[in-house]
Structure 1
């Protein structure tokens, strides 16, 4: 590992500020997984993305043509503790960086991730929209099981009339609805949540409260994933994609809709995430998450 440049990017910014910082390493083909993990630990953000070429095969001779590329890039994602299959805000940071550095133009691209082949659209203004996997509704969890993890009485959780459910559109998260006005009053027990996440094989917990009808936001959210080294995250693309599917299932079944979520205010870094769900009476047919990002510096690691 020799003089690796890490581009520092805030993803899902709101009016040019806030967002969630991610590291982006271009030309990462020669880095081993151990080196990537070491870089992610040195950077210290919730995720760092590593961009490599994604050739399905190479020509063995001048008479042998290579197969078509199955994706434009292969992207891997590392937290300070481990590799994860997918990361929304680091994907946004990656493709925004490629666009603003002139390596990509507006248009449709495909990234190869451990969560599968996923489409990414770069719009003319630099807005990046990421395809996510169709939702997997994994299981419902009792209010009594979640109450001690966040310090909110089980009866209050039940008063929303909405279930606590594990969903995945790339990474499994526990989606937890709160009554209006309680989002800033939760007290997360990180040790209990880490153990619970490991037991239920989830990345973490995405807690939300619905906003009033005249708000510019559909819901305000907080995300916690201590099991993978993230005490709290200021913008989470994958979890908000799952939240959009959750709301579609329980409140807007059969309708296509675009949601706007705020996250990170409790951390002093308010972020804006849009999530679009196409749906019919058979269920969700397409999920995408979008936002803006901007670079704010670089680090050179020896």
Structure 2
């Protein structure tokens, strides 16, 4: 019988609160955890994702990510949780590291304050969807969605999401049809739907967001690193907030669990050349799971 310690961490916290819960398991290689055991642990933890950290022969670490129902190629908030805890427990010091994920080899930087910044894959734009198709998924009128004059687009920086602009004031009115959303995501090979409304000029927040991924067992998520990296690329592509490469997104408001995600997008004359997502995390608890 194996006794596995799992750290429960809130990632992308704002002023010491909010964030998105993730499980973190160190030394997954030493414990010789199988894929089935990782899935069982993630199911027992019940967080949207659990990260398993292992040593790697070529780079610093290998990370794998499991929802309660399946493995996913990458998870931003679980990466943040894992590296933040490695720093706070003394497994690493500040500096730059390389993690192997199923999405890619990606850089992670930790500054002396423990702030973690994660590199993401360069964006892939996989097509535009109709307002009518999305309207029935989220309970808003197609004409209302069209009034943003921005497209609904599938974009990936490691995980493919449907990026959906919402007119200001309507984000909290979304009512997801879970069965339809699950079927739609499966058909279009996306992890979920990331809706946003641009903030007004009186705030430093670029946009407020909501994220839904029922295909992988997540009804709604309070902070998503990968999806907000994708959103920053979408906004850059379409010339929104074009005067700055820095974006700040809030998420989780509708869940009463406000989170803050920072993104920097670097571009040159050929397009986007670097995407980095950052935030803070804190340990909430730990638990032992017996297999």
Quickly name the TM-score band, shorter chain normalised.
Answer: over 0.9
Find the aligned partners of 2:55 and 2:270 in 1 and give their Cα distance.
37
Match of 2:203 in 1: 215
Residues 160, 255 of structure 1: alpha-carbon distance in 2 compared, 3 angstrom cutoff = same
SS across alignment from 2:238: helix
Q: What are the Cα deviations for residues 270-299 of structure 1, in whole angstroms up to 9, with x where unaligned?
A: 000000000123211100000000001101
User: How far has the Cα of 1:113 moved from its partner?
Assistant: 0.3
Match of 1:189 in 2: 177
Runs in 1 of length 4+ with deviation above 3 angstroms?
252-256
Are 1:229 and 2:231 an aligned pair? no
Are 1:109 and 2:131 an aligned pair? no
TM-score calculated relative to the size of structure 2: 0.97
Report 1:120-269 matches (<5 A).
120-252=108-240, 257-269=245-257
Aligned 8 A contact 1:255 1:278 in 2: no
Equivalent residue for 2:34, pick from 22, 32, 35: 32
Aligned 8 A contact 1:256 1:279 in 2: no
User: How far has the Cα of 1:254 moved from its partner?
Assistant: 7.4
Q: What are the Cα deviations for residues 173-232 of structure 1, in whole angstroms up to 9, with x where unaligned?
A: 000000000000011001100000000000000000000012120000000000000000
SS across alignment from 2:5: strand
TM-score calculated relative to the size of structure 1: 0.94
Find the aligned partners of 2:120 and 2:205 in 1 and give their Cα distance.
21
Find the aligned partners of 1:114 and 1:137 in 2 and give their Cα distance.
19
User: How far has the Cα of 1:256 moved from its partner?
Assistant: 5.5
Aligned 8 A contact 1:254 1:280 in 2: no
SS across alignment from 1:251: coil
Match of 1:23 in 2: 23
In structure 1, stretches of 5+ residues that fail to align are: 56-68
Equivalent residue for 1:45, pick from 44, 47, 56: 47
Aligned 8 A contact 1:163 1:177 in 2: yes
SS across alignment from 1:269: coil
SS across alignment from 1:235: coil
Q: Kindly report the root-mean-square deviation, in angstroms, between the aligned alpha carbons of the 2 structures.
A: 1.1
SS across alignment from 2:90: coil
Find the aligned partners of 2:103 and 2:190 in 1 and give their Cα distance.
14
Aligned 8 A contact 1:85 1:115 in 2: yes
